[in-house]
Amino acid sequence: MVQVIGYQLVEKEGREDFLLLVLQGGIEAVKSETTGKMYFTARTVKVPATFDEDTCKSIVGSQFEGTIIKIPCDSYEYTIKETGEIIKLKHRYEYVTDVDAVIQEQVINGELVH
């Protein structure tokens, strides 16, 4: 289950503006690779939407089926807004429906099969 916690207007020069819905999954405990200490967090992801701003405002707080999964990617730097700390990440988050999540977990990548 995910919840719409907000939305964001994206303005692109020379292109039409669009809106992103900000989705958040459930709370999870994570162990810091740097300190080894546990902390709680929730996965958050921004997903493009075709709604107008009034519709986006009206659905903030709505919950619907799906989950936010962690996808490996090339390493990149990320700045934590609250502290200004720069960390390296090797993943991104993506919203998937519950059906897609099951497929993701159950299907073996064809490149790994010999």
pLDDT tens by residue, 17-32:
899 999 999 999 988 8
Determine phi and psi for 109, rounding to 5 degrees: -60, 125
Residue 25's alpha-carbon distances to 1, 52, 68, 88, 101, in angstroms, are: 7, 23, 6, 22, 13
pLDDT tens by residue, 61-101:
999 999 998 888 999 998 888 888 888 889 999 999 876 66
pTM for this predicted structure: 0.76
